């Protein structure tokens, strides 16, 4: 099921406003609390609501949007969140050093999109042993290296929407290639495996001829697009399941002879893709709201820190304006399902 656009809208400001009202209500209620009750409250240890936000890489519009959601939620929760991260999206060692620093700083929680599902595990386990709550979002680690994973949408739903779009755009027949993020990215790799299975089972006339990696670097992704077109002269379509890759590929295609001849779809942000939808380079692509993902991760981390949830299946918590969420199997929380953007709706979105 596709997500309605109201779920994708920019509701962070409304959430902040509504929660400020709630907070105002709370503080006036607090003045009428009995002295004994306030003494008990003041002796309870304050929750450590400091957090480190560690995306795959800095300078990625997708994670910048997630961070807006993080900050909006932090404002409501009274949390302090600091963003750090490597320059490149294929640098797990860089992530490890930021994780170790956060552990030394004794933050309450780490919010991490993993560059590698196992390479950052030891440092995350050390963080958890030191009392830091670990929430992965967007790109997961092995399940025992974190307290919770905030999943943007089901992996099979993300895979299917991309295969459906390319099949539709190339008449369900011909050569396609995948331009991914880094070769070790947990999220892209899971989606690629499921896309391959879907292609094999349901699209016998589509042939996946190549999978290349732009490492979520704009120039590398641009160059890999050019190389794909040269090595596969019969290419009919490219799927890029990364916002960095699809934007770079669209920029390349829009100025090339292949514009309008080689289809491009995948996962992109409306703001980065708008001009390529309008100039006819791209027909349709998909995503979820990265801001909501950041908001949800922050509320989940706060609930873990405060001991309101432990990450056990069935645990429930509220994520402000996004509503109530329930922890599912394997300590995961699901945001929703991907949404498709095209020329008819893209102007309704601003992220
Ligand atoms: C890029 C990153 C991120 C992924 C999106 C779709 O920004 O690789 O992990 O979820 O694309």
* Pocket lining: 216 vs ligand 1, CB cutoff 6 Å: yes
Does residue 148 sit in the same domain as residue 203? no
Does residue 273 sit in the same domain as residue 182? yes
| Residues counted in the chain | 351
128 pLDDT above the threshold of 50:
yes
Specify if 43 maps to a domain: no
- Residue ending a domain, among 287, 307, 324, is 287
Please give the average per-residue pLDDT across 41-46, as a whole number: 66
Does residue 59 sit in the same domain as residue 117? yes
Does residue 92 sit in the same domain as residue 144? yes
Specify if 227 maps to a domain: yes
79 pLDDT above the threshold of 90:
yes
| Number of folded domains that form the chain | 2
The preferred substitution site among 159, 183, 187 for testing ligand 1, maximizing ligand atoms within 8 Å of CB, is: 187
Does residue 136 sit in the same domain as residue 207? no
* Pocket lining: 186 vs ligand 1, CB cutoff 6 Å: no
Atom of ligand 1 nearest to the CA of 182: 8
Per-residue pLDDT tens digits for 291-304: 999 999 999 999 99
- Residue ending a domain, among 265, 287, 309, is 287
Q: How far apart are CA 280 and CA 239, in angstroms?
A: 16
Please give the average per-residue pLDDT across 100-117, as a whole number: 98
Atom of ligand 1 nearest to the CA of 267: 6
Does residue 73 sit in the same domain as residue 137? yes
Does residue 64 sit in the same domain as residue 85? yes
Dihedral of CA 178/181/186/188: which sign?
Answer: negative
Specify if 39 maps to a domain: no
Please give the average per-residue pLDDT across 163-181, as a whole number: 98
Minimum mean pLDDT among 18-22, 152-156, 232-236: which range? 18-22
pTM, to two decimals: 0.89
| Mean pLDDT of the chain, nearest integer | 90
> Ligand 1 centre from 82 Cα, in Å?
20
Asked if 99 and 123 touch (Cβ cutoff 8 Å), the reply is yes
Per-residue pLDDT tens digits for 140-159: 999 999 999 999 999 999 99
Does residue 163 sit in the same domain as residue 279? yes
Task: Give residue 45's pLDDT.
Answer: 75
> Ligand 1 centre from 243 Cα, in Å?
6
Q: Measuring from atom 3 of ligand 1, which residue has the nearest CA?
A: 242
Task: Give residue 8's pLDDT.
Answer: 66
Atom of ligand 1 nearest to the CA of 268: 6
Task: Give residue 43's pLDDT.
Answer: 61
Does residue 182 sit in the same domain as residue 133? no
* Pocket lining: 189 vs ligand 1, CB cutoff 6 Å: no
2 pLDDT above the threshold of 90:
no
Specify if 343 maps to a domain: no
Per-residue pLDDT tens digits for 59-78: 999 999 999 999 999 999 99
Per-residue pLDDT tens digits for 185-215: 999 999 999 999 999 999 999 999 999 999 9
* Pocket lining: 269 vs ligand 1, CB cutoff 6 Å: no
Domain of 164: which CATH number?
3.40.50.2300
> Ligand 1 centre from 175 Cα, in Å?
24
> Ligand 1 centre from 331 Cα, in Å?
21
Per-residue pLDDT tens digits for 268-280: 999 999 999 999 9
Tell me the residue range of the domain where 101 lies: 50-152+290-336
Specify if 350 maps to a domain: no
Does residue 115 sit in the same domain as residue 174? no
Specify if 9 maps to a domain: no
16 pLDDT above the threshold of 70:
no
Does residue 134 sit in the same domain as residue 168? no
Specify if 45 maps to a domain: no
Minimum mean pLDDT among 4-18, 92-106, 125-139: which range? 4-18
Atom of ligand 1 nearest to the CA of 113: 9
Does residue 256 sit in the same domain as residue 332? no
Neighbours of 345 (CB within 10 A): 15
Specify if 66 maps to a domain: yes
């Amino acid at each position: 099921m596709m997500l309605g656009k109201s779920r994708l809208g920019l509701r962070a400001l409304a959430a902040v406003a509504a929660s400020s009202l709630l907070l105002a209500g709370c503080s006036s209620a607090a003045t009428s609390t009995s002295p004994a009750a306030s003494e008990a409250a003041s002796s309870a240890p304050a929750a450590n609501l400091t957090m480190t936000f560690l995306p795959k890489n800095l300078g990625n519009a997708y994670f910048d949007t997630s961070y807006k959601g993080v900050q909006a939620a932090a404002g409501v929760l009274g949390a302090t969140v600091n963003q750090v991260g490597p320059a490149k999206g294929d640098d797990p060692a860089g992530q490890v050093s930021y994780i170790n620093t956060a552990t030394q700083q004794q933050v309450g929680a780490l919010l991490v999109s993993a560059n590698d599902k196992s390479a950052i595990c030891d440092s995350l386990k050390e963080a958890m042993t030191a009392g830091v709550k670990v929430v992965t979002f967007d790109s997961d680690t092995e399940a025992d290296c974190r307290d919770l994973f905030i999943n943007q949408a089901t992996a099979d739903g993300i895979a299917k929407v991309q295969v459906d779009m390319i099949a539709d755009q190339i008449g369900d027949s011909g050569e396609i290639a995948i331009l991914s993020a880094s070769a070790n990215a947990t999220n892209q790799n899971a989606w690629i495996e499921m896309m391959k299975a879907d292609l094999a089972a349901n699209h016998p006339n589509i042939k996946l001829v190549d999978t290349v990696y732009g490492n979520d670097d704009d120039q590398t992704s641009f160059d890999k697009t050019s190389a794909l077109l040269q090595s596969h002269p019969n290419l009919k379509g490219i799927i890029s399941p990364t916002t960095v890759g699809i934007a770079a590929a669209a920029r390349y295609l829009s100025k090339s002879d292949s514009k309008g001849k080689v289809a491009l779809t995948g996962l992109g942000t409306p703001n980065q893709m708008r001009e390529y939808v309008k100039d006819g380079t791209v027909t349709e692509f998909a995503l979820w709201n990265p801001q909501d993902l950041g908001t949800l991760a922050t509320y989940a981390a706060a609930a873990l820190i405060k001991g309101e949830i432990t990450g056990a299946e069935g645990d429930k918590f509220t994520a402000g304006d996004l509503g109530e969420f329930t922890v599912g199997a394997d300590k995961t929380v699901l945001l929703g399902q991907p949404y498709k953007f095209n020329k008819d709706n893209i102007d309704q979105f601003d992220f």
